[in-house]
Chain A
Amino acid sequence: GENVEQHPSTLSVQEGDSAVIKCTYSDSASNYFPWYKQELGKGPQLIIDIRSNVGEKKDQRIAVTLNKTAKHFSLHITETQPEDSAVYFCAARFSGSARQLTFGSGTQLTVLP
């Protein structure tokens, strides 16, 4: 079945450094790739998304890149701050699905002050 693999599972960076999280997906016809941030005790918050007709999207310190040929997409956070510490999930919407998402396994990001 459809699958999304996410790496790394944990990531620690110094405040001010950049963080990169990568995901690969199995269905080449997938068309939508969102990223969610989940803080402790809260639901997932959509932070950025990208569609299959775009290669890169940026929103302030956050950017997402998509490589359709290699079937992978990445989240880039620059100038990290302690409040960026959270679990980040990537997801993909596979062709033929009725808007449902398949999620990666999550990355625990810790930004050290």
Chain B
Amino acid sequence: SAVISQKPSRDICQRGTSLTIQCQVDSQVTMMFWYRQQPGQSLTLIATANQGSEATYESGFVIDKFPISRPNLTFSTLTVSNMSPEDSSIYLCSVALDQGNTIYFGEGSWLTVV
């Protein structure tokens, strides 16, 4: 497995502001993903963070709202822009190990927008 660290672990944000979440992995990984988990709900993939190129976004998620950086093979950031209360969620970083066959998650960043 891998140690996946996310910062912040929890935050309360003002409406209209932006917040950047960091994800650090203790080993080099090719594939990193960002998921959203709304309160009491399942996990939904936001995007795949590609090293050296733009992220690949899923339907319903756009780069202007959720810009992603992937500067190297151990680190990625997700920014939640111009936040509204509907963005209150857990944001989860995940990585694919074992030649991409096994997916592990970080502990999540719990955001509340007021």
Contacts and interface: CB of A to CB of B under 8 A. Distances in A.
Interface string B63-103: 00000000000000000000000000010100010001111
Most A CB contacts (10 A, CB to CB) among B45, B56, B110 go to: B45
Contacts of A42: 107-108
Contact of B42 (A41, A43, A45, A89): A89
Given A43-B92, A46-B103, A100 B43 contact: no
10 nearest A-B pairs in the assembled complex, by CB-CB distance: A43-B107, A43-B105, A43-B108, A99-B96, A103-B43, A103-B42, A44-B105, A99-B100, A105-B42, A100-B45
- Grouping DSSP codes into helix (H, G, I), strand (E, B) and loop, the B interface class, with mixed when no group exceeds half, is strand
Interface of A: 32, 34, 36, 41-46, 49, 51, 89, 91, 98-106
Contact of A44 (B43, B48, B56): B43
Interface of B: 1, 31, 33, 41-45, 48, 56, 90, 92, 96, 100-108, 110
A36 B42 CA distance: 11
A8 B108 CA distance: 25
Most B CB contacts (10 A, CB to CB) among A36, A46, A100, A102 go to: A100
Given A43-B107, A46-B102, 9 more contacts: A42-B107, A42-B108, A43-B105, A44-B92, A46-B103, A46-B105, A99-B103, A104-B42, A106-B42
